[in-house]
Amino acid sequence: MTLCGAHRAIWPRIGRLRPCYTSAMATGSLTLSEHPRELVQVVCDRCERKGRYRGARLIAKHGPDIRLPDLLREIAANCPKAGGLGNDMCGARYEGL
């Protein structure tokens, strides 16, 4: 997990890491490095696909700064409903996030 500038300044005083969501407020999305769990779980309610991915492997492949919506599009790119329209489009989402 990375620390924003505000939390980096107080790190010696607080003595523990907590998630920092200031960058999410700036962009509107969390990044992969800010995901709160080690396992990233993705499910699709429309085609019933599901998967669990280790955060470290995803970071190695996509980098720590990829936004979670962009990562979800990458993971679900081979979904048969990825190019669908209206009610027939992919329903991939993060489980428990």
The model's pLDDT over 43-55, given as tens digits with 9 standing for 90+, comes to 988 888 899 999 9
Positive/negative CA dihedral, 5, 11, 64, 94? negative
Average pLDDT over residues 36-62: 92
- What pTM does this model have? 0.67
Domain tally, the chain: 1
Residue 29 domain boundaries: 5-94
Q: Are strands 39-44 and 92-94 parallel, antiparallel or unpaired?
A: antiparallel
